[in-house]
Structure 1
Amino acid sequence: MTESSSPHISTPRITVLGVQPGDPPFRIVEIDGEVVGEATSVTDVLLAAAAVGIKVHDLDDPGAVRWVGGGKFTWRSH
């Protein structure tokens, strides 16, 4: 058998960290492990990805985007 018995877990290129306090609150966006900026909405995440040539087809795909501290609808502190 040439296949591994353990499943392959891909690491998404985009990581959106938890909500940070501010006016407005924001989330830090990392691409390929590097901080690329702040986002106050999903649009900002998509723009950051597009700026480095990444097309995101599904924001709910854990292989495309890793959401830390809440999903794509979390933009305010609890």
Structure 2
Amino acid sequence: MTESASPRVSTPRITVLNVQPGDPPFRLVEIDGEVVAEATSMTDVLAVAALAGIRVHDLDDPEVVRWVGGGKFHWRLR
């Protein structure tokens, strides 16, 4: 099997975890496996990434951001 025929598995540097209870509800943001912030919106995720020196051009790119427990529009408890 050639390298190009093997599946590519990437680990995004940014992981946004499940919504947590709070006022307002928030999601924890990990960068390189370390919890670095609480986010209440997509804007917060972009700001945290920028502070870490990560440029995010597409929040839907699974090689850049991994969304756990809901996508970028999920910010409230179900």
SS of the aligned residue for 1:46 comes to helix
SS of residue in 2 equivalent to 1:16: strand
Aligned length in residues: 78
- Tell me how large the CA RMSD over aligned residues is: 1.3
TM-score (norm 1): 0.94
**Amino acid in the other structure paired with 1:52:** A
The residue correspondences of 1:1-78 to structure 2 (distance < 5 A) are 2-3=2-3, 5-78=5-78
Give me the identity figure in percent.
78
> Which consecutive residues of structure 2, in runs of 5 or more, have no partner in the other structure?
none
Deviation >4 Å, runs of 4+: none
| Aligned-partner residue type, residue 44 of structure 2 | D
Mean Cα deviation higher: 2-11 or 40-49 = 2-11
Unaligned runs of 5+ in 1: none
Q: What is the CA-CA distance between 1:8 and the residue it aligns to?
A: 1.5
Residues of 2 paired with 1:20 and 1:31: CA distance?
18
